[in-house]
Amino acid sequence: MATENPDTRIPDQKKVGMVSLGCPKALVDSERILTRLRADGYAMSADYAGADVVLVNTCGFLDSAKEESLEAIGEAIAENGRVIVTGCMGEEADTIRARFPQVLAVTGAHQYEQVVEAVHDAAPPSQGPFVDLVPQANALKQRSGSAEEYVKLTPRHYSYLKISEGCNHACAFCIIPQLRGKLASRRIDAVLREAEKLVAAGTRELLVISQDTSAYGVDTRHEARDWKGQPVRAHMTDLARELGQLKTPDGQTPWVRLHYVYPYPHVDAVIPLMAEGLLTPYLDIPFQHASPNVLKAMKRPANEAKVLERVKAWRAIAPDLTIRSSFVVGFPGETEDDFRYLLDWLEEARLDRVGAFRFEPVEGAAANALPDPVPEPVKEERYARLMEVTERISAEKLAAKVGRTVRVIIDEVGEPDEDGDIGATGRSEADAPEIDGAVYLRNVPATLNPGDFVDVLVEDADAHDLFGVIAAKA
C-alpha cells in the first residue's frame, strides 16, 4: 500500500480564537485582524479548546470596562493558556502583565501589524511546499472585487463601516484621544469601495461608525478623491449622499445608519437625504447632558436651546426621524438644579432612544480632578429618575406606532412551535442592532430569511419593543 510522503503533505492550519469586547469600533478592529490572519493561512476557532492562540480585544473606556477586560483575559488564560491582548486597554500593558504575567504579548488599539506579528511568533502559520502556489484571501479579494473573503463578526445582512479613527475633542470625562489618538480619516474612495463590496456581498444595512462621524475629513481638509468619474470630498454630507446611491444585488436601497454624530451645523444637510429615502432616518447623537453648567465642566458645547430648535426643524423635514443619545448622570459638580434641567430638556426633546451612564472616574481623565463629586447614592437615585422619564417617553412614542405599518429588517427566524407557527425577530428603521429595541413577529412564512425586508403591521408595543405581523399586500 502506498503511503503519503509526510514532506509533501500540507500540515493542519493553525487556529486563532477571538474574544472581542467593547464598542462596534473595536468589533471592526477584530474583523480586520482576523481577516489579515486568515489571509496568512490561519483558521478561526469557535472555542478555547480548538485554538492554538487566543486574542482578547479589550475595552478601556471605563474602569468597569477595564475590569471586564481583565476578567476576559483571565478566563482565556485559564481555558487556553496562550493569550495575546490587544485593544484600548493594551495601552496599560504594565497593569495587564502585573496581573497576568503569562500573556504572550500586549498591543494597543488598532495596531494590526503588531497583533499579526505577535500571532506569527506565538503560533507560526503552517507552510507546506504548495501553500505559496494558492492565491491568498487578500489577493482573491483584490482580483474579484468581492467582500466575501472579509471575516465578519456580525450577521451577513448588516455591517459596520468605520470611516475614521481617533478624536480631536478634549472632553473632561474621556480618554479616547489618549487611547486611539487624534482624528485620522480614511480616504473617501476607500470607504465607498468597502461599502460597495459589502453591499454586493449581502449587506443590507450599513452602520457608519467613528469616534466623531460629523468631523470626518477635517484632518485631511476634506480632500476630494475620484469616485466613478466624479470628485467626492471626505466630508460627512458627501459620504452620506454617495452611500445613499448604493443598491443591493436585487435593486433595493440598503439602510444606512449614522452613529456618533455630533450636532455640527452641516448635520442639517443630511436630514433631506433621510426624507428622500436615501438614508435611514436615524441619528445617534452623544449629547451627554443638557445643563449649560455641566456641559461647560465636561468641555462640551453648551448650546442646548439651539439643539432643541434644530431637532424640531429636523422632524419637520423627516417626521419619522429617530434620535438616540446617551447621557452621563452624577458628573462632578452636577447639582439637583442641573439634573432637573436635564429632565426638563428631555421632556421637551422627546428623544426616541436614550441610554444613561453613572459617572465613573477613569484614570487619566481630567474630570477626576474636578471638585464636588456626586455621592454614589445620589448618582443611583438620579439614574433611576432619568430612566423612568425616558422609558415613559419611549413607551408613549412606540404606542403611537400601533396600527401603523413599518419597514422591518429580519435578524432571526425561529423554529415552528407545537401549532406550526413560526416567529421572527427584526428591527425597524428606529432600531440599531444590539443597542435599541426589536420588532417581534408572529406567524411568519417558512420562506422568511435573515436580511429580508418586510412591511409589518404593528399590533402592540411596550417601553422598548414592537409586536406585529407581516402586513397583507394590497
Instruction: Give the pLDDT score at 325.
Output: 96
DSSP 91: G
Decide if 453 contacts 408 (C-beta within 8 A): yes
| Angle, in degrees to the nearest 10, between helices 236-243 and 188-200 | 20
9-20 mean pLDDT: 78
Distances in whole angstroms, Cα of residue 440 to Cα of each of 94, 429, 460: 46, 14, 10
Specify the pLDDT at position 135.
43
Q: Where does the chain hold its CATH 3.40.50.12160 domain(s)? A: 12-139
Least confident of 86-90, 102-106, 253-257, 273-277: 86-90
Structure-block grid coordinates of residue 263: 450636532
Residue 340 has pLDDT above 80, yes or no: yes
388-406: per-residue pLDDT in tens? Answer: 999 999 999 999 999 999 9
Kindly report which listed range (29-33, 211-215, 382-386) carries the lowest average pLDDT score: 29-33
Beta-carbon count within 10 A of 319 CB: 9
pLDDT at 466: 98
Among residues 54, 64, 40, the alpha carbon closest in space to that of 86 is found at: 54
Between 189 and 127, the higher pLDDT residue: 189
pLDDT band at 141 (very low <50, low <70, confident <90, very high): very low
pLDDT for 4 equals: 39
Closest CA to 42 of 80, 82, 15: 15
Q: The whole model's pTM is what?
A: 0.82
What residue ranges of the chain are covered by domains with CATH 2.40.50.140?
A: 405-470
Under a CB-based contact definition with an 8 Å cutoff, are residues 301 and 330 in contact?
A: no
Could you read off the pLDDT of 107-140 as tens digits, one per residue? 987 788 899 999 999 998 875 544 444 444 443 3
pLDDT range class, residue 315, cuts 50, 70, 90: very high
pLDDT of res. 474: 61
Closest CA to 256 of 201, 211, 203, 311: 203
| CATH code reported for the domain at 405-470 | 2.40.50.140
- How far is residue 81's CA from residue 291's CA, in Å, rounded to a whole number? 49
Q: What is the pLDDT of residue 127?
A: 58
Q: How many residues would you count in the chain?
A: 474
Query: Which position has the higher pLDDT, 368 or 53?
Result: 53
Find the range with the poorest average confidence among 118-132, 279-293, 409-423. Answer: 118-132
Cα–Cα dist 125/117, whole Å: 11
Task: Tell which wins on pLDDT, 211 or 6.
Answer: 211
Q: What CATH architecture does domain 12-139 belong to?
A: 3-Layer(aba) Sandwich (3.40)
Mean pLDDT over each residue of the chain, to the nearest integer: 88
Which amino acid is it at 357?
A: F
304 pLDDT tier (thresholds 50, 70, 90) = low
Taken in order 38, 41, 45, 49, the sign of the CA dihedral is: negative
* Mean pLDDT value across residues 450-460: 97
Q: Residue 215: which H helix or E strand, with range?
A: none
Contact 354, 303 (CB under 8 A): no
The domain 154-398: what is its CATH number? Answer: 3.80.30.20
Does residue 184 sit in helix, strand or coil? strand
Q: Which residue has the cell 500500500?
A: 1
Which residues make Cβ contacts (< 8 Å) with residue 256, sequence separation at least 6?
Answer: 205, 206, 208, 240, 243, 244, 246, 278, 279, 280
**Segment 61-105, tens digit of pLDDT:** 777 888 899 999 999 999 999 999 998 888 889 999 999 999 999
- pLDDT-derived band at 11 (thresholds 50, 70, 90) equals low
Report the alpha-carbon distance of residue 84 to residue 70 in Å, rounded.
12
* Of residues 274, 200, 205, the one with CA closest to residue 241: 274
Segment 320-331 mean pLDDT: 96
d(CA 474, CA 470): 12
CA atoms within 13 A on the CB side of 300: 24
Give the pLDDT score at 451: 96
Percent of the chain exceeding pLDDT 70 equals: 91
Name, in order, each residue with C-beta under 8 angstroms of 198's C-beta and a sequence gap of 6 or more.
147, 150, 159, 161, 206
End-to-end CA distance of the chain: 70
Three-state DSSP state, 429: coil
Q: Are 81 and 51 in contact (CB under 8 A)?
A: no
Q: What percent of the chain has pLDDT over 90?
A: 68
Q: Looking at residue 144, what is its pLDDT?
A: 33
Q: What pLDDT sits at residue 41?
A: 85
Q: Does 1 score more than 50 pLDDT? A: no
pLDDT at 165 over 70: yes
Residue 302: band (very low, low, confident or very high) from pLDDT cuts 50, 70, 90: low
Residues of the chain within CATH 3.80.30.20 domain(s) are 154-398
CA–CA distance, 218 with 236 (Å, rounded to integer): 10
